[in-house]
């Protein structure tokens, strides 16, 4: 083989792979012994590996070589044939694919359950005819169906309601930073924000996900979900459900707030 010429660049068949072309001294034009040392000097292992990649059917034509091949076992205790090794690798890959599929199915089932819960909650919101009932439906559903540790749907400037409310000025003082973002916020809140949003929590709320409810540019309230686990709600986590629920409330609340008491 000429110096610098790669095995992958030659036009050879599988039959050519073991011909005497690999055992000639090109400078002298004479055959040289087929010694292991000479073979090691002539054939680079990377070139052999490249050739086998390009000819995956090589061992079909030379299956008599398979019994002579052995690879070390992972534990180093045994030597196994190439076929056994391939079967072992394929089985491991099959287990990995099966595990991935099972995880995807679990996620799909969780998403389906979440969709059904959300569908029921949205329909219940649309069925309400007054703001007190709507707040009760949202908070009870979040506690009972979604199993959240603490939750609040706090409405602004609605003193006539039986449920807890706050003036917009009070909200700007207590949770102004959360209110001004007009975006969902997840993670650790300041102590005064926790106290304002979750005054009746049975335990200290250590992380939360909050979203302003805004209709036509006017803040109507704040939807807040809290956890006793400091790592449950984290910055950067998905907020699609919270955003969707706040958008539904932004469309439903004006109707019930304008309804006669």
**How much is the pLDDT for 199?**
94
Q: What pLDDT does residue 170 have?
A: 95
pLDDT at 128: 95
pLDDT of residue 184: 93
Q: Please give the model's pTM, rounded to 2 decimal places.
A: 0.63
Record the tokens describing residue 228, joined without a space: 């006793």
**pLDDT tens digit string along 109-158?**
998 998 999 999 999 999 999 999 999 999 999 999 999 999 999 999 99
DSSP string, 159-175: TTSSS-EE-HHHHHHHH
What backbone phi and psi angles, to 5 degrees, belong to 200?
-105, 15
Looking at 5-9, 82-86, 233-237, which range is the least confident one?
5-9
Answer whether residue 197 shows pLDDT above 70.
yes
Mean pLDDT of 193-217: 95
Q: What is the mean pLDDT of the chain?
A: 82
- Find the mean pLDDT for residues 234-240: 87
> CA–CA separation, 83 vs 92, rounded Å?
14
Determine what percent of the chain is predicted with pLDDT higher than 70. Answer: 76
Superfamily of domain 129-257: GAF domain (3.30.450.40)
Higher pLDDT, 88 or 228: 228
Question: Is 50 exceeded by the pLDDT of residue 219?
Answer: yes
| Segment 186-207 mean pLDDT | 95
* C-alpha distances out from residue 28 to 16, 23, 83, Å: 21, 12, 41
What is d(CA 158, CA 126) in angstroms, rounded to the nearest whole number?
A: 20
Q: Domain map of the chain by residue range?
A: 7-68, 72-127, 129-257
The pLDDT score that the predictor gives to residue 89 is: 80
Please give the radius of gyration of the chain, using alpha carbons only, rounded to the nearest integer. 35
- pLDDT higher than threshold 80 for residue 221: yes
Between 205 and 89, whose confidence is greater? 205
Mean pLDDT of the region 77-91 = 72
């Amino acid at each position: 083989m000429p110096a610098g010429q790669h095995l992958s660049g030659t036009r050879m068949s599988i039959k050519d792979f073991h011909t005497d072309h690999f055992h000639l001294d090109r400078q002298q034009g004479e055959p040289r012994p087929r010694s292991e040392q000479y073979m090691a000097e002539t054939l680079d292992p990377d070139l052999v590996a490249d050739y086998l990649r390009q000819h995956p059917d090589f061992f079909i034509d030379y299956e008599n070589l398979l019994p002579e091949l052995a690879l070390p076992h992972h534990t180093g205790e045994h030597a196994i044939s190439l076929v056994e090794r391939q079967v072992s690798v394929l089985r491991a890959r099959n287990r990995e694919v099966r595990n991935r599929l099972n995880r995807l199915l679990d996620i799909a089932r969780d998403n389906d359950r979440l969709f059904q819960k959300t569908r029921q909650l949205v329909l219940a919101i649309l069925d309400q005819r007054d703001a007190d009932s709507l707040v009760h439906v949202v908070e009870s559903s979040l506690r009972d169906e979604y199993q959240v540790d603490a939750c609040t749907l706090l409405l602004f400037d609605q003193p006539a309601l039986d449920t807890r409310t706050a003036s917009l000025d009070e909200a700007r003082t207590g949770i102004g930073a959360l209110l001004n973002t007009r975006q969902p916020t997840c993670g650790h809140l300041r102590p005064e924000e926790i106290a304002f949003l979750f005054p009746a929590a049975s335990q200290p709320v250590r992380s939360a996900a909050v979203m302003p409810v805004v209709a036509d540019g006017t803040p109507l309230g704040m939807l807040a979900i809290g956890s006793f686990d400091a790592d449950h709600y984290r910055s950067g986590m998905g907020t699609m459900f919270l955003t969707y629920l706040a958008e539904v409330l932004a469309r439903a609340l004006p109707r019930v707030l304008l309804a006669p008491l």
